[in-house]
Amino acid sequence: MPEITKDKDRGSPDKWKFAWWAFFAFVVFVYLFGLTIPLLGPDEPRYAQVAREMLDRGDWITPTLGGFTWFEKPALLYWLEMITFKLFGVSEFAARLGPAFFGLGTVLSLGWLGSSLSKSKAADIPDAGPDFGKWVALIAASTLGIIVFARGASFDIIVTFPITASLVSFYCFDQRRSESFAAKYLPLALFYFFIGVALIGKGLIGVVFPGAIVSLYFLISRRLPDRAFVFSTVWGTLLFVAVAAVWYLPMYEINGYKFIDEFIIQHHFQRFTSNKYQHPQPFYFYLWILPLMTIPWVPFFLAAVVSGIRDGYRQLRDHRSEHLQPIVLFAWAWLIVPLGFFSISGSKLPGYIMPSVPAAVMLTAIYLKRFLSRGSRWRIAIFSMGLGTLAVCVVLLVTVVPQFAYGDSVKGLVAEADSKGYAGDKVLNFHSISHNAEFYAAGRLVRDATGKQREYWATPDLRRDIASLGGKPVLVLVRLEHLQLLRSDPALDVEVIADNGETAITRVSLRIVN
């Protein structure tokens, strides 16, 4: 939908005002729609269960899973889930509601950055009127990476939002037009405050990324930070440490060195330097994952990257003194730091690169600005592209996603077993581990001495543990390709209760021998 200007082809301002309000109302609807599907993958159910256990104990500090300490991630996601569990009951919707709002917060932050460009002292984007922020928000809201990870009860969007908010706050400070307190110190305070939030969101990258991005920005801008920013590093460090200490300090006081070892050493340094957690990928993994995150804007993002590389090369070749637009340099620094950091990491998952996606959105929006100024056809096309992407997401959430979720989750299997009167039976895993069962079979899973779910590879071991449980029948989750192996043991009675096309739930008991 076109911007509001005096051009005849741009239509009635009232119509466009209504179109923008309708679009963003639809964005909120889409981000909150379909959050009730079963929890997916290994992470969502585990994180939701950690929050449920913390809520049950009334403990806001120490995460546990199955009653064992769980120091993989910090507490922010768990806090959000605990609050929504308290308000709406324990459910998939409540587990995902906090991340959905953080996704919307990321969109809002980028829209704010876009709207601030016309007010910056550098006048970053020529003719970037107040509507440019709406176009940035439109692109962000319809970007696949943000949509997908805002719908998951996981930490990637939980750290992306505060990092985005901190960097937007810094840029508003850096390009301020006024030296008033509100223009100078409020953005700086927000910059450091959100760094503290990001530290509780996913750990040390919450401070490493903003610090490295800002440093790289000053470097490629070929200038030094001003006095106000230099002095702010003193009080700002105290601010973000105070925010982070809300969780880190009592966590250390309660759990001591065990917290440092597991959370900092193992889940930070060893995850980065090794493949201990079994997520190996080639160095170039994120060079194709990041563009996929920008669907449907991939062509424009790639064109923006090519254009930026070409402009940077020309500047270096011609030894020109003028700089590229500050927002372009800032977006490039923002893009490069997480991309480079995770590319050299020994552990790689698609969601890790989420902190770079807002920068990709900004580069895409800046590139698209040239098309927005060419007339109403381009503006309508871009508006329709964003709207169409969100509409397709709704269709997929109604049709394809629930079917996928049914096959990925054991929710229906456990519910079917419970409906037959087996709700008190222990739940075991044969030839695989169902992390999904952490949430849907909570309190019934058999674990080893370290707290991990016990995985049975041979039926004699299964028989032994059934006997140790007093010989009572148990529920066994088994992939369909291994079902016959389970049935082949003559000492076991195996009743298949249900399957979801991938996994079966069976009731297994020791056969009585006459």
Report pLDDT digits (tens) over 124-137. Answer: 565 556 689 999 99
List residues bridging with 430 in a β-sheet. 456, 478
- Is the pLDDT confidence value at 123 over 80? no
Report pLDDT digits (tens) over 196-253. Answer: 999 999 999 999 999 999 999 999 988 999 999 999 999 999 999 999 999 999 999 9
Backbone angles phi, psi at 459, to 5 degrees: -65, -30
* Structure-token match 């503290």, residue found: 196
For every residue of 197-225, DSSP letters joined together read HHHHHHSTHHHHHHHHHHHHHHHHHT-PP
Average pLDDT of the residues in 312-325: 67
- Is the pLDDT confidence value at 10 over 50? no
pLDDT-derived band at 277 (thresholds 50, 70, 90) equals low
Quote the pLDDT of residue 200: 97
- Is the pLDDT confidence value at 409 over 50? yes
Evaluate whether 105 touches 165 at the Cβ level (below 8 Å). Answer: yes
- Is the pLDDT confidence value at 94 over 50? yes
Sign of the torsion formed by the C-alpha atoms of 278, 359, 333 and 291:
positive
- Is the pLDDT confidence value at 168 over 70? yes
Average pLDDT of the residues in 322-349: 88
Quote the pLDDT of residue 228: 92
Q: Which residues contact 280 (CB under 8 A, 6 or more apart)?
A: 346, 347, 348
Quote the pLDDT of residue 363: 97
Quote the pLDDT of residue 357: 98
Judged by average pLDDT, the poorest of 130-134, 203-207, 322-326, 483-487 is 322-326
- Is the pLDDT confidence value at 283 over 70? yes
Q: What angle do CA 241, 247, 250 make, to 5 degrees?
A: 105
Number of Cβ within 10 Å of residue 71's Cβ equals 19
pLDDT-derived band at 33 (thresholds 50, 70, 90) equals very high
pLDDT-derived band at 1 (thresholds 50, 70, 90) equals very low
| Percent of the chain's residues with pLDDT above 70 | 90
- Is the pLDDT confidence value at 278 over 60? no
pLDDT: is 12 or 114 the higher one?
114
Q: What angle do CA 92, 396, 79 make, to 5 degrees?
A: 25
Quote the pLDDT of residue 128: 56
Quote the pLDDT of residue 370: 85
Report pLDDT digits (tens) over 136-149. Answer: 999 999 999 999 99
Average pLDDT of the residues in 61-85: 96
Q: How many helices (H) and strands (E) does the chain have?
A: 22, 7
pLDDT-derived band at 390 (thresholds 50, 70, 90) equals very high
- Is the pLDDT confidence value at 474 over 70? yes
Both tokens of residue 317?
Answer: 């070749």
Q: Which residues contact 341 (CB under 8 A, 6 or more apart)?
A: 205, 208, 209, 212
pLDDT-derived band at 321 (thresholds 50, 70, 90) equals very low
Number of Cβ within 10 Å of residue 121's Cβ equals 11
Write down the mean pLDDT value for the chain: 90
